[in-house]
Structure 1
Amino acid sequence: MTKIYLVRHGQASFGAANYDQLSERGQMQAKALGRYFKRVLQQQPYVVAGALQRHQHTAQLALAASFAQANIHTSTLWNEFDHQHVLAQYDPRFAEPQWLQQQLKDLKQPRDYLAQLFYPAMQRWSEANAEHQYQETWLDFQHRVKQALDALCHEIAIHAPPVAVVFSSGGVISVAVAQVLGLSAQQTFALNWQISNASFTTLTYVDGQLHLCSLNEHHYLLEQQPDLLTWL
């Protein structure tokens, strides 16, 4: 049996010109995750990370605090969908990060405001009659996540590590869980919105099958420093 940790990256820079870089808080989250892994993982894990900057930086900081000798296997299959593109197809103003930053700067609850946009934008993305408007369709994204899981399971079958850690994003993790549990698109979108920064979701790989063990664990952040818990 192999236990798989699917880690969402630390807080990125939502609304900034370069979303893909970790914020200062995101870096602190990644280091806190590394301290947790050092405490609970008994052996060096097999590590995979998406190719995006926020995936790689989260992995580097977490491993520096836990398993500095671990190799990071990079795969673009674990990259997040282009949320800015998906939002911009729903409302063209999202094509300019500065516009979103302006909208959010004075809001006390920016996550609530974004939720009102996120769900209809994702719903539109999943509609078959709109597929031609997207660089990567919803079905393509689901297929890519399945490829990522299949490739990971293949490597696990070869190397038989007791633990594997994957650094990715909330959208990828929610689709991976949806494929294990058979969730609908709407349930997947709702799950995506709940996955916090630097949280981990665990699966087990046993006899060629994946099973869900836990979802969106972030207790270690609350234990170490409660104000590190974020969703955006």
Structure 2
Amino acid sequence: MGVVHLIRHGQASFGSDDYDVLSPIGETQSSALGQGWEAEGFVPTDAVAGSMKRHAQTAIAAIDACGGPDGYDVDAGWNEYDHVGIATAHDAGALGLDSKAFQRLLNQAIADWRSGVGEYDEPYSVFVERVMGAFDAAVATAGPGRSVAVFTSGGPIAMIVSHLLTGDDALFQRLNDVIINASVTTVISGSTGPRLLSFNEHTHLARDLVTYR
């Protein structure tokens, strides 16, 4: 039996000039993940990350803290949807909102994106296809006795968990709203295919390090 660990990146830098970098809290969360693995005596056999900077930074911090594996592969299939493009397609003034107001607007914008309302650089159907393709590749790597750490974002994790639980994307938005930064969702893969073992595990984070955005 193989295992795939889906890790949401540490907190990014909302409101800064470059959202796609970890905040100081995000850096601490990512290190805490690796330290938790080290304390358990766990080292993944393989690692892969999306091509976003926050994915790379989370991977490097966690891998350094637990002592391995030796580097990671990059697969852009694990990248997040373009939340800025989706939000501004819904409301051109979206980026001027505070984080809570932006999240409310983004949820409305994602509902439009999913229903096909508006024009986007990446249609929702394309997002679903690339994420599920990246997941299939990770499952194929996770052969017997192997554990694959995947450093990605909340959207891909929510999509995969929804498909594992319901066979489709019915739970995508509900799950996406509650995924914690630097949390771990674990999928086991054996003769019956991939199955969800745990969702959104974050006991490696101190209470003051638990963030959702």
TM-score range, shorter chain: over 0.9
Aligned AA for 2:109? A
1:121 to 89, 101, 109: 109
CA distance in 2, matches of 1:144, 1:117: 25
**1:126 and 1:185 in contact (8 A); partners too:** no
**2:86 and 2:106 in contact (8 A); partners too:** no
The alignment-based identity, stated in percent, is 33
Task: Write the deviation string for residues 190-223 of structure 1: whole angstroms up to 9, x where unpaired.
Answer: 11010011011110011261100111111221xx
Q: How many residues align?
A: 213
2:51 aligned counterpart, secondary structure: coil
Deviates more, 1:67-76 or 1:78-87: 67-76
Deviates more, 1:30-39 or 1:115-124: 115-124
Aligned AA for 1:180? L
Higher share of residues assigned helix: 1
The structure having more radius of gyration, on CA atoms, is: 1
**1:3 and 1:203 in contact (8 A); partners too:** yes
How does the TM-score come out when normalised to structure 1?
0.86
2:181 alignment partner in structure 1:
197
2:137 alignment partner in structure 1:
151
Structure 1 residue 228 corresponds to structure 2 residue 209: yes
**1:8 and 1:198 in contact (8 A); partners too:** yes
Aligned AA for 1:188? F
**1:9 and 1:58 in contact (8 A); partners too:** yes
1:107 alignment partner in structure 2:
none
Task: Write the deviation string for residues 67-88 of structure 1: whole angstroms up to 9, x where unpaired.
Answer: 2442201110101111000111
Q: Which residues of structure 2 form unaligned runs of 5+? A: none
**Runs ≥4 in structure 1, deviation > 3 angstroms?**
41-44, 183-186
- Within 5 Å, give how 1:1-232 maps onto structure 2: 1-94=1-94, 97=95, 99=96, 103-104=97-98, 110-111=99-100, 113-130=101-118, 133-157=119-143, 160-182=144-166, 185=169, 187-207=171-191, 209-221=193-205, 225-232=206-213
RMSD across aligned positions (CA): 1.7
CA distance in 2, matches of 1:5, 1:116: 29
How does the TM-score come out when normalised to structure 2?
0.93
1:196 aligned counterpart, secondary structure: coil
Please report how far the alpha carbon of residue 137 of structure 1 lies from its aligned counterpart in structure 2 after TM superposition: 0.7
